[in-house]
Amino acid sequence: MAFCFTPEAPLEAWLAELDTHIARSPNFFAGRPVVLDLAKVKLNPGEIAGLIEELRRRGIRVMGLEGVDAKSLRAEFPPLIHHTRARHVQELTIPAETEPPAPKPASLIIEQPVRSGQAIAFEGDITVLGSVGSAAELVAGGSIHVYGTLRGRVMAGCAGNPRARIFCQKIDAELIGINGYYRTIEEIDETLRHRPAQAWLDGDDMKITALQ
């Protein structure tokens, strides 16, 4: 699951507390997907950008935002994510660096369709044996495989993996993202719609092609 950071005012004190966690276990957040919940602070777009940059300097990659008005978002910001199941950093008991980390599962298999409005985040690959409904969200640190119709919003490679890919049997997605690069439904070629397709990054360019 993704970690959810919930900053509180004053931000300087909140960042100092985060620095204390990082000092105790420098690699704890490395490569882990993070959602930034801004419901407890009132920030303008410039302040949001500054906070995201402060986290980036600490090696923390923000894959999505919560608790903020969509009108405050800039095009370069991470996407808005609703109802993500995540753990708050204030509630974490960070293990000492000497303790061996628990093994992480490499993939998540979802045997049922992902219903409209559901949001699922996972550190590794996500495989959905059914379809993904409209307004549903999938966020994966690795690749995403959908063996049915892909609707909703899907974001792969959110743990900083530019080699992640998205595969589906029928593409009709509202938004596709890989490692911070996004395409909306309006930017997906009409000839690819409702067909098997895959998406991947070629440098800074996202490619979406039909699966033969």
Q: What is the pLDDT of residue 133?
A: 93
Kindly tell me if the per-residue pLDDT of 75 is higher than 50: yes
Q: What is the pLDDT of residue 117?
A: 82
Other CB atoms within 10 Å distance of the CB of residue 88: 11
Query: pTM of this prediction?
Result: 0.55
Position with higher pLDDT, 200 vs 102: 200
> What integer is the mean pLDDT of 92-101?
47
Kindly tell me if the per-residue pLDDT of 111 is higher than 60: yes
> What integer is the mean pLDDT of 104-121?
86
Kindly tell me if the per-residue pLDDT of 93 is higher than 80: no
Position with higher pLDDT, 143 vs 64: 143
Angle, vertex CA 103, rays to CA 98 and CA 108, nearest 5: 150
Q: What is the pLDDT of residue 123?
A: 84
Other CB atoms within 10 Å distance of the CB of residue 153: 26
* DSSP character at residue 162: T
Greatest mean pLDDT among 2-16, 37-51, 74-88: 37-51
Distance CA 162, CA 156 (A): 9
Q: What is the pLDDT of residue 98?
A: 46
| Closest alpha carbon to 131 in 155, 142, 147, 154 | 147
* DSSP character at residue 83: S
Residue with tokens 């490692």: 179
Other CB atoms within 10 Å distance of the CB of residue 9: 11
Strands, E assignment, 124-196: 125-128, 137-140, 144-150, 153-156, 166-171, 175-178, 181-184
Q: What is the pLDDT of residue 31?
A: 62
Q: What is the pLDDT of residue 196?
A: 95
pLDDT digits (tens, 9 = 90+) for 147-197: 999 998 898 988 788 999 999 999 999 889 898 788 888 888 888 988 999
Distance CA 93, CA 5 (A): 14
Q: What is the pLDDT of residue 148?
A: 94
Q: What is the pLDDT of residue 114?
A: 93
* Sheet arrangement for strand 107-110: 107-110, 125-128, 144-150, 166-171, 197-202, 205-210
What are the residues facing 170 on neighbouring strands?
149
Q: What is the pLDDT of residue 99?
A: 52
Kindly tell me if the per-residue pLDDT of 86 is higher than 50: no
- Confidence bin at 92 (pLDDT 50/70/90): very low
Kindly tell me if the per-residue pLDDT of 94 is higher than 50: no
Distance CA 127, CA 105 (A): 13
